[in-house]
Amino acid sequence: MKKLLCTCILGISLGALSAPALADPPLPPFYDSVTKMPANGKLGQIIKKEAIKTSVKGAQAWRIAYISSDTAERKTIATGTIISPIGSAPKEGRPILAWAHGTTGSAQNCGPSQITDPTAPLNEYFLADGNSWTDYGIPNVEQFIKEGYVVVATDYQGLGGGGKHQYAVAATNGRDLINSARAASAFKEVGAGKKVIAYGWSQGGGAVIAAASLPDYQGLKGTAADDLQYLGFVGLAPDDQAVMLQNPPTDEAGATKLINEFTQANVPNVFLFAHYVMGLWGTQAAYPNLKLTDILTDEGAAFVDKLSTNKCVHVMADSFNYAYGDQYKSLLKPSATNSLAWVNGFIDGSVKLVKPVAPVVIYWGTKDTAVPPIEHELYQKQMCAMGANVERIQLPGEQTHFSTPGVSAPMYLQWVKDRIADKPLANACPKS
């Protein structure tokens, strides 16, 4: 595979689905009960809710479980958080900000809404002032509440609602995002209206731009809240796997060469390897014709399945390091099999080649080695050629993947406010 693809989202953060296995970690009562519920109902329908405390002044919050569906349109259950201002809403309802989080893991207990205060401002694991083992919280939440917005933050399916999380399958994660907005609009207690802006980081950035190119899914009738008006999409270092595969191989030999190169590009260190194999686990959860043993040894597949089912991403990397040290590469087969199906799965699960329904703005840093900027640069060129309005804003200084949310936060506040106010926006696509 080309070097350009080597650190895509699979290398950083990748009918009813099966019930969680008995080996799944124990969950708080809210989530434990949800995993036993059938995925029946309208898309976006809230099937369980629970009021929770929030540290955000002037706000009220709930954790929720709602109906979603995956890229194959199989019904699922996703969990998440809703936070809104206290008091009466305007006649037209409050605008909705739908947040899509970055990589936390693939096990049931990795959903950000399970944290003690999930409505806090974004807290990052890697930063010096981070106070948790995971990235949780919501960027700009305090400012958005002051502006009178409703904020909904999905966990995605499989991170507390049962089933297997389709990690890094943006087409599924994007559907979870869309259905979270439907859930918020239908939730009478928060007084939400129809205007929606979606924003997300890393895995969530991919979900955001994937959702932007799902007009038919957005336009479905008979949901919990039809006819939502999407006004803009904010991607913080978003990934796009499909754009890196514009001329994919059509034969098994070419696909095998591609997958082998892709695999080798994602094993330089155990942290990258953990993200990569978790991405394989999430992709095979979405596409039943794929198996972990296509790429991993029997021992490797069993170990990856055990960790992906039970551990969140940072602890997962520690477990690989403890169990195998620098021999973790021994869990890979010498050469992949069923490779063409894997290539097709990566493409199908990514951003569709469809013009976004509203303007897109992307924030990125020059030192991002997790999602290489070439990915969203090519995305911009591809979508602009279709008549979309996609802007890329380089952050000042030398920003990494992990500094992107904090540095960009004050920059897109006005952009969001202007979109909600329906202010004109010049086309920001590069002039050719």
More confident residue, 19 or 65: 65
Angle (CA) 224-228-231 rounded to 5° is 150
pLDDT higher than threshold 60 for residue 413: yes
Per-residue pLDDT at 10: 42
Per-residue pLDDT at 408: 96
Per-residue pLDDT, averaged over 153-158, amounts to 98
Q: Which of 155, 179, 174 is nearest to 45 (CA)?
A: 179
Per-residue pLDDT, averaged over 72-89, amounts to 97
Q: Is 431 buried (19+), middle (13-18) or exposed (0-12) by CB count in 10 A? A: exposed
- In terms of phi and psi (left: phi > 0; alpha: psi -120 to 50; beta: otherwise), the region of 255 is alpha
**Can you name the residues that pair with 99 across neighbouring β-strands?**
153, 199
CB atoms within 10 A of CB 221: 6
What residue spans define the domains of the chain? 22-242+357-420, 253-347
User: Do the beta carbons of residue 368 and residue 400 sit within 8 Å?
Assistant: yes
- The token pair at 68 is 């979603």
pLDDT higher than threshold 70 for residue 261: yes
Between the alpha carbon of residue 386 and those of residues 213, 324, 349, 355, 357, the distances in Å are 12, 47, 21, 6, 12
Per-residue pLDDT, averaged over 363-382, amounts to 95
Note the pTM of the prediction, 2 decimals.
Answer: 0.94
Between the alpha carbon of residue 65 and those of residues 141, 152, 185, 220, the distances in Å are 20, 12, 14, 20
Specify whether domain 22-242+357-420 bears CATH 3.40.50.800.
no
pLDDT higher than threshold 70 for residue 233: yes
| Percent of the chain at pLDDT exceeding 70 | 94
CB atoms within 10 A of CB 245: 20
pLDDT higher than threshold 60 for residue 232: yes
Question: Mean pLDDT in the chain?
Answer: 93
φ, ψ at 392 (rounded to 5°): -115, 125
φ, ψ at 63 (rounded to 5°): -95, 145
Contacts with 145 (C-beta within 8 Å, 6 or more apart), sequence order: 56, 57, 58, 59, 83, 84, 85, 151
Per-residue pLDDT, averaged over 67-95, amounts to 97
